[in-house]
Amino acid sequence: MQQFDLVVVGSGPAGRRGAIQAAKLGHKVLVIEQGKRVGGVSVHTGTIPSKTLRETALNLTGWRERGFYGRAYRVKEEISAEDLRRRLLITLDHEVEVLEHQFARNRVQLIRGKASFLAPDTLEVVKDDGEILHVNGKSIMLAVGTKPYRPASIPFDGKAILDSDELLEIEELPRSLAVIGAGVIGIEYATIFSALDAQVTVIDPKSTILDFIDREIVEDFTYQLRDRNMKLLLGTKAEKIEKLDSGKCSITLDNGRVVVTDMVLYAAGRMGATDTLNLAAAGLEADDRGRLKVNLETFQTAVPNIYAAGDVVGFPSLASTSMEQGRIAARVAVGAMAKEPQKYFPYGIYAVPEISTCGLTEEEVKERGIPYECGIARFRETSRGHIMGLDSGLLKLIFSLKTRRLLGVHIVGEGATELVHIGQAVLNLKGTVEYFVENTFNYPTLAEAYKIAGLDAWNRMGEIKAAVAK
Ligand SMILES: Cc1cc2nc3c(=O)[nH]c(=O)nc-3n(C[C@H](O)[C@H](O)[C@H](O)COP(=O)(O)OP(=O)(O)OC[C@H]3O[C@@H](n4cnc5c(N)ncnc54)[C@H](O)[C@@H]3O)c2cc1C
Ligand SMILES: NC(=O)c1ccc[n+]([C@@H]2O[C@H](COP(=O)([O-])OP(=O)(O)OC[C@H]3O[C@@H](n4cnc5c(N)ncnc54)[C@H](O)[C@@H]3O)[C@@H](O)[C@H]2O)c1
């Protein structure tokens, strides 16, 4: 039986970052991956495909130019599923090539096969050709990620009624799409297909969406979606989904309403991919959504030599945070020092328009009883916004009145997921409103919105001080 210092199950963001970190520290590392190619959900069905699809859709539709040339403007009149897939395949090939090269350079061994526990330090691997191997690890890291939640009551057919993995394989673009589940996946795809001119209906039993995002940002966002005729049917449950003889899909809601569309995307959450790991042999147990419980500083499970990182440990379930969790887990596993993850990390929702946020929302600040002031900037007030033809986009900063420190940054609009990092840096370095007021920003840029929002808050924070002094 082969022996390793660290055996990593899964080659997604958590697994690959953890494996390379341990290898860089001179340890013997094995990655076991059941997929045909390395990269995990992030590369093959999640982050990278959905973001490539978004980019292709925005480019081919000429979305970013419509502020100037009107809503009817198109770069390509007829956009096909093949147009979208072409760019996807090229991007994914590049990603996999880079990852394979990283593993090779760092001498991380890779076995393709499905892993399950025989004992807390021993895994069985069933390879594609049926060969069975046993491997032993001083430490084991489970970075197995998630798979779409697919209840038996939904008649998935892989063509018209699909989950988010299957959506990437569609042969024809739907003219109308119903999205069940207004989580991040549902909202991202709903808005991408709306940008492709599909008539989109989003259905969710909850009456609000994206609850972890600042409400003012969500309100601005939903106004924009409704303005372009997307239907948001919230607070209502899809009771029955069926395929009609016409080939269309019918969704019956609990309020009796019936929605008929060409395609249904079922995106009501994901499950930890732990069902085939034989966790009992390791003395572990997953929760009802297949997730594992860990110490959030070390990523150690209840069994000391077994670590878990990435989506399998639950919120925030991001590629970005999974990588950092994998790195920390690997360092702890091989006995190297590791700091716990930074308190404030950015969240990027690649919808059309983008949303990005870091730190506390206004609702959280209120709940904690912190006296605060907000500063707002609209992209249409910036010169870069004029040049780009932007008529929407909002940046909101929240400052403590007591310490003047930045507490939260919240953005909806073009470039939000890039812009947020300025706020993130100020936040984590404990910067105050003065940072934005006293520093010069490149001009003309969208980043100038920070200056405008900083000044907006600063003006009012000054007035409040003066009022108190009187
Ligand atoms: C549609 C979609 C869009 C997303 N967009 C974003 C985004 O824009 N930004 C962002 O930060 N995050 C995004 N995410 C989330 C991101 O993809 C995940 O957070 C990330 O992939 C989790 O990484 P991971 O390492 O935990 O696992 P995964 O990427 O899920 O990889 C797990 C790997 O483990 C393998 N595996 C599982 N079980 C076994 C086994 N028994 N034996 C061997 N191998 C096994 C799987 O084959 C898989 O390759 C998105 C997700 C989806 C679905
Ligand atoms: N840009 C990003 O960072 C990004 C993009 C996509 C996904 N992700 C990650 O992937 C994870 C999974 O995303 P998700 O959107 O699948 O899950 P989610 O758990 O975020 O959202 C699921 C949604 O489905 C709804 N729902 C639950 N049960 C339902 C039912 N029976 N019928 C209809 N609706 C139902 C919920 O109310 C919720 O709004 C998220 O945690 C997210 O962090 C991140």
CA dihedral 166, 167, 168, 169 (to 10 degrees): 60
Query: What is the largest distance, in Å, between two alpha-carbon atoms of the chain?
Result: 82
How does pLDDT run across 346-399, given as a tens digit for each residue? 999 999 999 999 999 999 999 999 999 999 999 999 999 999 989 899 999 999
Mean pLDDT of 407-429: 97
Mean pLDDT of 139-160: 97
Mean pLDDT of 236-255: 96
* Same domain membership, residue 249 and residue 121: no
Q: Say what the pLDDT of residue 84 is.
A: 87
* Same domain membership, residue 423 and residue 352: yes
245, amino acid identity: D
CA of 266 to the centre of ligand 2 (A): 10
Mean pLDDT of 35-44: 94
* Same domain membership, residue 229 and residue 325: no
Cα–Cα distance, 311 to 295 (Å, whole number): 14
Q: Measured from the CA of 317, which atom of ligand 2 is nearest?
A: 43
Q: Say what the pLDDT of residue 67 is.
A: 78
Is 244 exposed, middle or buried, given 0-12, 13-18 or 19+ CB atoms closer than 10 A?
A: exposed
Q: Is residue 342 part of a domain?
A: no
355 lines ligand 2 (CB under 6 A): no
Mean pLDDT of 221-228: 96
Q: Measured from the CA of 113, which atom of ligand 1 is nearest?
A: 43
CA of 164 to the centre of ligand 2 (A): 11
Residue 294, CB-side half-sphere exposure with 13 Å CA sphere: 27
Helix boundaries (H) for 196-278: 215-227
Q: Is residue 340 part of a domain?
A: no
CA dihedral 81, 83, 88, 93 (to 10 degrees): 120
Q: Is residue 153 part of a domain?
A: no
Q: Measured from the CA of 321, which atom of ligand 1 is nearest?
A: 11
DSSP 122-174: EEEEEETTS-EEEEEEEEEEE---EEE---TTS---SSSEE-TTGGGG-SS--
Nearest ligand, measured from the Cα of 349? 2
CA of 25 to the centre of ligand 2 (A): 36
Above 90 in pLDDT, residue 45? Answer: yes
CA-based nearest residue to 96, from 213, 23, 16: 16
* Same domain membership, residue 138 and residue 284: yes
186 lines ligand 2 (CB under 6 A): yes
Q: Say what the pLDDT of residue 463 is.
A: 60
Cα–Cα distance, 248 to 152 (Å, whole number): 20
Least confident of 60-64, 152-156, 447-451: 60-64
Above 70 in pLDDT, residue 464? Answer: no
Q: Say what the pLDDT of residue 341 is.
A: 75
Which residue range(s) make up the domain with 244?
161-268
* Same domain membership, residue 50 and residue 118: yes
* Same domain membership, residue 262 and residue 295: no
Q: What is the CATH number of the domain that holds 403?
A: 3.30.390.30
Number of domains in the chain: 3
Q: Is residue 154 part of a domain?
A: no
Cα–Cα distance, 152 to 25 (Å, whole number): 46
Helix boundaries (H) for 238-361: 319-333
Q: Is residue 426 part of a domain?
A: yes
Q: Measured from the CA of 148, which atom of ligand 1 is nearest?
A: 53
Write down which residue in 218, 236, 268 finishes a domain. Answer: 268
Helix boundaries (H) for 269-345: 319-333
* Same domain membership, residue 307 and residue 278: yes
Query: Which residue lies with its CA nearest to atom 39 of ligand 1?
Result: 144
CA-based nearest residue to 198, from 307, 53, 315: 53
Write down which residue in 240, 268, 296 finishes a domain. Answer: 268
Q: Tell me if residue 360 falls in helix, strand or coil.
A: coil
Q: What angle do CA 366, 371, 374 make, to 5 degrees?
A: 80
Q: Tell me if residue 68 falls in helix, strand or coil.
A: helix
CA of 367 to the centre of ligand 1 (A): 33
Least confident of 77-86, 88-97, 132-141, 160-169: 77-86
Above 70 in pLDDT, residue 290? Answer: yes
Above 80 in pLDDT, residue 268? Answer: yes
Mean pLDDT of 426-430: 96
* Same domain membership, residue 327 and residue 263: no
Query: Which residue lies with its CA nearest to atom 28 of ligand 2?
Result: 268
Ramachandran angles phi, psi of 436, nearest 5°: -75, -35
Q: Say what the pLDDT of residue 151 is.
A: 95
Neighbours of 236 (CB within 10 A): 16
CA of 143 to the centre of ligand 1 (A): 8
Q: Tell me if residue 451 falls in helix, strand or coil.
A: helix
Alpha-carbon distances, residue 112 vs 31, 60, 130, 207, 236 (angstroms)? 8, 37, 11, 44, 43
pLDDT category, 466, cuts 50, 70, 90?
low
381, amino acid identity: E
Q: Is residue 341 part of a domain?
A: no
Write down which residue in 268, 302, 317 finishes a domain. Answer: 268
Mean pLDDT of 189-206: 97
* Same domain membership, residue 299 and residue 231: no
CA of 166 to the centre of ligand 1 (A): 15
Q: Is residue 400 part of a domain?
A: yes
Residues with CB under 6 A from ligand 1: 9-15, 32-35, 40-42, 46-47, 50-51, 114-115, 143-146, 164, 185, 273, 276-277, 310-312, 317-320, 322, 348, 350
Mean pLDDT of 219-247: 96
Contact 182, 234 (CB under 8 A): yes
Q: Is residue 327 part of a domain?
A: yes
Q: Measured from the CA of 318, which atom of ligand 1 is nearest?
A: 19
Residue 146, CB-side half-sphere exposure with 13 Å CA sphere: 30
Sign, CA dihedral 134-135-139-144, equals negative
Question: What percent of the chain is predicted at pLDDT more than 90?
Answer: 89
CA of 37 to the centre of ligand 1 (A): 13
Above 60 in pLDDT, residue 468? Answer: no
Q: What is the CATH number of the domain that holds 56?
A: 3.50.50.60
Above 80 in pLDDT, residue 470? Answer: no
CA of 5 to the centre of ligand 2 (A): 36
Nearest ligand, measured from the Cα of 233? 2
pLDDT category, 77, cuts 50, 70, 90?
confident
* Same domain membership, residue 144 and residue 40: yes
Q: Say what the pLDDT of residue 343 is.
A: 80
Give the DSSP H or E segment for 101: helix 81-105
Q: Measured from the CA of 312, which atom of ligand 1 is nearest?
A: 26
Q: Say what the pLDDT of residue 342 is.
A: 78
* Same domain membership, residue 293 and residue 239: no
* Same domain membership, residue 117 and residue 166: no
* Strand duo 146-148 + 161-162: pairing: unpaired
How does pLDDT run across 115-147, given as a tens digit for each residue? 999 999 999 999 988 999 999 999 999 999 999
Least confident of 252-266, 287-301, 333-347: 333-347
Is 314 exposed, middle or buried, given 0-12, 13-18 or 19+ CB atoms closer than 10 A?
A: middle
